[in-house]
Structure 1
Amino acid sequence: MKKIFFSIACCLPLFAHAQLADSTVRLVHVKGAVNFRDIGGYKTKDGKAVKWNKVYRSADVSHLTDADMDTLRQRHIRNVLDFRGVKESQAAPDHLPAGTAYLLLPAGSDSLPNAKQMQEAMKSGDKWMLDFYGNPQYLGPRYKAFFSMLLTMPRDEAMMYHCTGGRDRTGMATALLLYALGVPMETINADFTASNVYLQPMYGRMFQQMGAGMTPEQVEQMKQALELRPELLAAMFAGIKQHYGTVEHFMQAELGVGPKQVAQLKAMYLN
């Protein structure tokens, strides 16, 4: 893993290095999942910091081991949100400690392209990714309950949310939460693009499956098209502003997060 971090981190923008440098405290070391990390510690524009040990993001957690169950219990992760589609989640059900509050939020996920459709979509470069991020249609239905749980979660509990790779749907949720907490966009982008590194252990298998029947050049083009970049989050926020005028109006209208709720989130999740 250290070799992977070194080789890829050298190619990342400067703002991403600080996020990766704290991986020893940010990453949750479980055997059955990758990209499992704490979103705590990020500084806000007014000098506060997101609390550690309260909110976690991850990739697929269907293969967590018994030892991993102990890790979740020790971290008081008693609430889990799953952004995958219905069929997607049924194919690989979450493996969680008994008594965990689990909620599936599949809005928009069942209409995502399969591997063959993605191969076709990748012929247009990253246009499909930009269109996916720039369309706010499913953001409200997918993330309203996410913010509701954040606002009502007991103070002695933590939550984890995930999709399959823990990068796109999970990354969008993280970006919206950090935005609401007042974290600078540069830091939000760093957290987002760090998945390019944290997901390397699963990318080899994923690209092998998706690239079946493709030439090496086509596989490389697909990798480049799927790489997470700040432009994708910029497309998401631009799409929100185009349809709602401001991000704040969107959050109040679609997520139930107005000024009162933003103040509550800051009181609950910032030091």
Structure 2
Amino acid sequence: MDYGDRYGHIVLEGAANVRDLGGHRLPGGGELARGRLLRADALNALTGADLDRLAPLGLRTVIDFRMPSEIELNGGDRLPAGAELVPLPVGGGNLDVFYEVILSGDAARQEETFGGGRTEHVLAEVNRAFVAIPQERAQFTAALRRAADAPSLPLLFHCTAGKDRTGWMAAIVLTVMGVPRDEIMADYLRSNDYHRAGYDLLLRQLGETGQMKDPELLRPLLEQRPAYLEAAFDEADRRYGSFDRFLADGLDLDPAALDALRANLTG
């Protein structure tokens, strides 16, 4: 597989944020294996050329974290031949009110809804919910168990933009693998790089059409911020005392499952 950069980005026409998680340096030497685990945004707009480009990976499993309403709105995944679709819906926050306010064209309502750090607070709470809500934890557990099952690999997991739910899944995996927290954060924030052109275009169009007086109010909703991921890690520490206890008690992952995950990604 030819990557678009040293971070494993796969350049596609119908998805902007598809990345191979391999290549991260691991404690004691070596690196996370390429071609085993991939993170992505939604695959519903993949072209035939995109599917051809992904074919050499031999994907066996695609996990879709999107809610049914997101799939209904945007469409189901287009999958490479041989890939099994595994729906594991995780709530990404109730953003319907945000969409309604944007469509209203009411500048005062938009400022009241998005301004003053309110959007950042909502996104932090969304990330806390990944840890705090049992049903959400169970979906991440199911995804991690799939990644620990060698016949399920190569595996790709995704949500809509590939940044929040997908970002937390990637952060869990990289933490289990022993990747330093600063590198995990850099991986998390890298979604901003791959989405930047599309988001800049969206904000410009919202301004030019008059839909929003100040489109930059949406920037915290579209972009990743360190505080969002930190909120999830903080919630894990607050509830369980440590990340190891979160893995064991919050995600119900025993040492055998974690060892299998590590073996699958380093072999």
Paired with 2:265 and 2:175, the residues of 1 have a C-alpha distance of 13
Question: Is this contact kept in 2: 1:147–1:255, CA < 8 A?
Answer: no
Question: Is this contact kept in 2: 1:181–1:262, CA < 8 A?
Answer: no
Correspondent of 1:253 among 249, 252, 262: 249
Structure 1 position 263, deviation (Å): 1.9
Question: Is this contact kept in 1: 2:203–2:216, CA < 8 A?
Answer: no
Gapped regions of structure 2 (runs ≥ 5): 103-109
Equivalent residue number for residue 18 of structure 1: none
Correspondent of 2:114 among 114, 122, 145: 122
* 1:174 aligned onto 2:156: no
Paired with 2:13 and 2:6, the residues of 1 have a C-alpha distance of 15
TM-score (norm 2): 0.83
Question: Is this contact kept in 2: 1:84–1:105, CA < 8 A?
Answer: yes
Question: Is this contact kept in 2: 1:34–1:201, CA < 8 A?
Answer: no
| Structure 1 residues 39-118: aligned runs within 5 Å | 39-91=21-73, 92-109=75-92, 112-114=94-96, 115-116=99-100
Instruction: Specify the SS of the correspondent of 2:148.
Output: helix
Instruction: Specify the SS of the correspondent of 1:199.
Output: helix
The CA RMSD measured in Å over matched residues stands at: 2.4
Deviates more, 1:139-148 or 1:175-184: 139-148
Structure 1 position 29, deviation (Å): 2.1
* 1:133 aligned onto 2:127: yes
Instruction: Specify the SS of the correspondent of 2:60.
Output: strand
TM-score (norm 1): 0.82
Equivalent residue number for residue 4 of structure 1: none
Paired with 2:30 and 2:38, the residues of 1 have a C-alpha distance of 19
Structure 1 position 213, deviation (Å): 3.3
**Number of residue pairs aligned between Structure 1 and Structure 2:** 247
Paired with 1:234 and 1:208, the residues of 2 have a C-alpha distance of 30
| Structure 1 residues 14-29: aligned runs within 5 Å | 23-24=5-6, 26-29=8-11
Paired with 1:261 and 1:196, the residues of 2 have a C-alpha distance of 32
Question: Is this contact kept in 1: 2:247–2:253, CA < 8 A?
Answer: yes
| Structure 1 residues 120-199: aligned runs within 5 Å | 121-125=113-117, 126-135=120-129, 136-138=131-133, 139-154=136-151, 157-199=153-195
Question: Is this contact kept in 2: 1:121–1:128, CA < 8 A?
Answer: no
Against the structure 1 CA distance between its residues 263 and 116, is the aligned structure 2 distance closer, same or farther, given a 3 Å change threshold? same
Question: Is this contact kept in 1: 2:18–2:41, CA < 8 A?
Answer: yes
Instruction: Specify the SS of the correspondent of 1:134.
Output: helix
Could you give the per-residue CA deviations for residues 23-47 of structure 1, whole angstroms, max 9, x where no partner exists? 2561112222111111100012333
Deviates more, 1:232-241 or 1:63-72: 63-72
Structure 1 position 239, deviation (Å): 0.7
| Structure 1 residues 202-213: aligned runs within 5 Å | 202-207=198-203, 213=211
Paired with 2:22 and 2:123, the residues of 1 have a C-alpha distance of 27
Gapped regions of structure 1 (runs ≥ 5): 1-20
Against the structure 1 CA distance between its residues 124 and 63, is the aligned structure 2 distance closer, same or farther, given a 3 Å change threshold? same
Deviates more, 1:194-203 or 1:129-138: 129-138
Q: Which amino acid aligns with 1:192?
A: Y
Q: Percent sequence identity over matched residues?
A: 29
Structure 1 position 231, deviation (Å): 2.2
